[in-house]
Amino acid sequence: MSPSIPFYGAYFPLWLVCAVVGMFGSILMRILLIRLGIDEGIPLRAIVYVAFACLIAFTLSATVWGT
């Protein structure tokens, strides 16, 4: 059984929470890189931002919940 957290009476799987946080983190990372002028030089941007989202989600999962 996967770990889950209570949220307004319903139980959500932790991987879903981590995925949402990872997506928002990747969006914030993109905004930061655009403001720094680095975004234009990144090859294969879509893959890079998906990798950022995965990195954030996996790090959150490992550090906060230890799963």
* Each residue's pLDDT tens digit, 21-64: 999 999 999 999 999 999 999 999 999 999 999 999 999 988 98
Please give the single-letter amino acid code of residue 27.
Answer: I
At residue 17 the predicted structure's pLDDT band, cuts being 50, 70 and 90, is: confident
3-class SS at 64? helix
